[in-house]
Amino acid sequence: MPIVLLIRHGENDYVKKGKLAGRLPGVHLNEKGRQQAQAVAERLKKAPIKAIYSSPLERAVETAQPLAEAMSLPVVLQPGLLETDYGEWQGQSIKKLSRQKSWKIVQSNPSLWRFPGGESIADCQHRFCTQIEELVKQHDAKDMIALVAHADPIKLAVAYFIGLPLDNFQRLGVSPGSITSLFIGETGCHLHSLNFSLEGS
């Protein structure tokens, strides 16, 4: 089964201001985010990537496009790669949300948490990882595929595939414009790299 590159979208103004963009439409990369997307494309343009998949949200597609152009490949949208459905928390300040008692559950016992009006973290992990597994089955063992998505789903995928308990997924870090690499095989998964950042390179 193939090597899977999990690429977090570049910076946008919600990330910059510490807000949860969630699934809000019209959230685009800012200037720094566009630079990060170009840096990802430059880094990976000679990699043997066979396909590029993306969350349908604008910031993810805009991150995928420079790589797609460099590789002469289409960006294939996959709804299963969407950001977590944060429900009523969408668009709110993380600083403000962190003052709520429920924030402790999100950080220390996320397996018990469902966002008000949104999805549970466990459901997000299942959705995202099921999508990855479906895509992996479409490729040969020596293929490399790129998936452009969002921080929490990427962290949840890493936790799932390496056997890290869901309640520990917040210990992982995934920066804007970073690359995480997984080899997903029939006998298990190997984490090649986590949160490889191109900042300053």
Residue 84: DSSP 8-state: P
Residue positions counted in the chain = 201
Q: Is the pLDDT of residue 141 over 90?
A: no
In a domain, residue 135? The reply is yes
Residue 171 belongs to a domain: yes
CATH number at residue 156: 3.40.50.1240
How does DSSP classify residue 96? Answer: H
How many domains are there within the chain?
Answer: 1
Identify whether 107 is part of a domain: yes
Residue 74 lies in a domain: yes
* Non-local CB neighbours of 34 within 8 Å, separated by 6+ positions: 10, 62
How far, rounded to the nearest angstrom, does the alpha carbon of residue 18 sit from its chain's CA centroid? Answer: 17
Helix, strand, or coil here: 200? coil
Residue 123 lies in a domain: yes
Reading the block at residue 108, the tokens are 């220390």
Residue 201 lies in a domain: no
pLDDT at 185: 81
Is residue 195 within 8 Å of 180, Cβ to Cβ?
yes
* Higher-pLDDT residue of 185, 123: 123
> Residue 4: is it exposed, middle or buried by C-beta count within 10 angstroms (0-12/13-18/19+)?
buried
135 near 147, Cβ under 8 Å? yes
- pLDDT score of 200 more than 70: no
Q: Does pTM top 0.85 for this prediction? A: yes
Strand 3-8 relative to strand 144-149, pairing? parallel
- Mean of the pLDDT values across residues 60-70? 98
- Residues annotated as part of the active site: 9, 83
Domain that holds residue 99: 3-196
Is 132 domain-assigned? yes
Would 140 be classed as within a structural domain?
yes
